Amino acid sequence: MFLKKKECQIAKLGEEVLRQEAKEVKDLNSKEIKSLIKKMLHCVKLSRGVGLAAPQIFESYQILIISSHPNDRYPNAPLLENEILINPKILNKSETLEKGWEGCLSIPGIRALVPRYKTIEVEYTKIDGSKIQIIYEDFLARIFQHEYDHLIGKVFLDRVETNSDIISEDIYFKKIK
């Protein structure tokens, strides 16, 4: 099944699906879930994002993908491509919060300084049904928390501490050069 660009619509801020709590995945082997994951992998690649959550493509399921790699949107991103996390949960988090720049495919043209836990321990199910516990740090922890927020009905702007931490993406790219 080959997906075309038009088959990858990203939900934008204001869409109801972005403010809902996503449903737990019950059957990893269902045709619907397998198709959804395939679509998510296509969409994250097409969008040049470093992560994607199912609600961002109008599917309210607890699935997220971390697809970190250096690109024009995140030139210093570490490499961890296409990690599929089903029914993820945060088990532990560091006391240390760190502000970092974030953008979102669902909120194009905006960047903001967002406080996130520097280190988190998470548990999730892989597509083969095995359970994984892993510790993410720094940028990968940030990606996880950003995408996890989509599963609980939040967006990164909900975490911003002050309006002066929000800028246009054009200004952001001038700042990082």
Tell me whether residue 43 is annotated as binding: no
CB neighbours of 29 closer than 8 A, spacing ≥ 6?
none
Tell me whether residue 150 is annotated as binding: yes
3-state class of 110 per DSSP? Answer: strand
Question: Would you list the DSSP string of 16-35?
Answer: GGGGSPPBPP--TT-HHHHH
For residue 61, the 8-state DSSP code is B
Name the one residue in this structure whose structure tokens are 């993908």: 65
* Cα(106)–Cα(15) distance, integer angstroms: 9
Angstrom CA distances, 8 to 136, 167, 171, stand at 28, 26, 27
Which residues are designated catalytic?
Answer: 147
* Cα(161)–Cα(151) distance, integer angstroms: 21
Name the one residue in this structure whose structure tokens are 């991103």: 77
Tell me whether residue 8 is annotated as binding: no
Q: Which residues are annotated as a binding site?
A: 104, 146, 150
Q: Which residues are annotated as a binding site for Fe cation?
A: 104, 146, 150
